[in-house]
Structure 1
Amino acid sequence: MTIDRLKQSQLMSKEISDLIISHEKVAHVQLQNPLDHALLILIKSGYTAIPVLDNDFRVRGQISKNEILDSILGLERLEIERLHDITVETVMKKKIPRLKTDTTFSKALTTSINHPFICIEDEEASFVGILTRSSILALVNRYFQQST
């Protein structure tokens, strides 16, 4: 095995733990929050989507600006007054990618292709943080910069 192949193998088998953005730094909402609160968090954070957590700090899905806007789209206008009456739980996306803290970089790279971020859970399924596609690409970029 050449040195480049060895470095590539080491990168792909590396655990993702060093790349995780801790839950303390991640904007999120809870299931019962109204959509106006979720929209405010999304706008203030600058993100297009954020995790949705339950009271036990477990990931239940994600909410995005698109889901919120779709839920208040009337026939002729946005029905903004409905934002406070609808909960996050009713419009959130429930099927989202999740990985464990000991997942390999290779699996994380593959998973990130279609998702801007991936929720990371521990062995008890508690929310640990997120892994962003940009942090994965930054590591890949560093790898290629060092290889040239």
Structure 2
Amino acid sequence: MEAIEQYAWIGWLAIIAVFLVIEMVSGELTFLMLGVGGAFGLGAGLVGAPIWLQVIVAAAAAVALLVFVRPPLLRRLRRGADDRAFNVDALIGLAGVVTETVTAMSGRVKLANGDSWSARVRGDRPLAPQTPIRVESIQGATAFVTTRSTEEN
């Protein structure tokens, strides 16, 4: 048991290294907090604490960091995230106009952003050229559209 206590610092370094590597892959700050908790256990061992106290110090520090430090850090990291839709999701709800008659099988529309898309309409009623439309959904390279009301124009 004396040898374990004497060389516990090697175990703590290994645990810290493993947690930091896992943190680099995950990026959620959980394993970073566990690694810092391990550093507290290492520190306790370096000042001469018995192994059971080192484990308690490491566990308490890790739990405290997970509860009190991780949530504000995550909020701060995500504070500047752009929550706007992009790519195909940004086209949903976009206005446009029919350029070639749109039926349940085919058609073309020009969207407000300047893109021209193949389009379909749900149902049997075709849309004539110059009809104002709104994009309901995108499936593959096809926009499913509906007519726009006069209030939306």
Establish whether TM, by shorter chain, passes 0.5: no
Q: Which has the higher contact order (CA 8 A, sep 6+)?
A: 1
User: Which TM-score bucket, shorter chain as reference?
Assistant: under 0.3
Greater radius of gyration (CA): 2
TM-score between the two structures when normalised by the length of structure 1? 0.28
TM-score between the two structures when normalised by the length of structure 2? 0.27
